[in-house]
Amino acid sequence: MYEPKTRAKLNEGEKVIARFDADRTTYIRDHVVMAVVLGIGAMIVLHYMGEVWWVGGPAAILAIGVRATYLASDDLAAFWELTDRRLIGPQNRQVRLGEIKELRSLGSAVQIVTNTGDKHLMKYLADKTGTREQIERHLGGGLR
């Protein structure tokens, strides 16, 4: 069983089951895909506006590249921990397992939706399916 030091104080008897870290390869892949899609979109928009269309591709690649570089240190340091009672995430996010209404897959991320409608995103996961399945196993037999 995985027993790391957690960022939040654990309650008496609470145990960390797993840790889900952001993955560098997934982070890079997601930003490359975003740059390509936005670059093509920008070129199409510029073409229909009658502007120099080819500028859209390099501009989008540059913009997404700067964004990825600037945010990498924060995004890649983010991690979530699954305990036998809750999920503990970055910026002191905490979700009790009993409050989870739904888990959704979005790209390389898992979105956690609570009974009150709060949403949390576990981003840049190398194995989003395995992460989702592991959380569902600890919800007492899956989601309702």
pLDDT per residue over 6-42, tens digit each? 467 888 888 999 999 999 999 999 999 999 999 999 9
- Please, which pLDDT band fits residue 1 given cuts at 50, 70 and 90? very low
Is 130 domain-assigned? yes
Its sign, for the CA torsion 32, 34, 39, 41, is positive
Is 144 domain-assigned? no
Give the pLDDT confidence score for residue 140 in this predicted structure. Answer: 67
Give the pLDDT confidence score for residue 45 in this predicted structure. Answer: 96
* Domain extent at residue 40: 24-76
Q: Which residue, 3, 6, 59, 68, is CA-closest to 31?
A: 68
Last residue of some domain: 60, 76, 92? 76
- Identify whether residues 61 and 101 lie together within a single domain: no
Q: What domain count does the chain have?
A: 2
- Continuous H helices in 49-105: 56-77
Residues 44 and 139: their CA atoms lie apart, in Å, by 45
Residues 84 and 140: their CA atoms lie apart, in Å, by 10
- Please, which pLDDT band fits residue 102 given cuts at 50, 70 and 90? very high
Is 11 domain-assigned? no
Is 4 domain-assigned? no
DSSP one-letter code for 15: -
Beta strands in 1-108 (DSSP E): 16-21, 79-83, 86-88, 94-96, 100-106
Is 143 domain-assigned? no
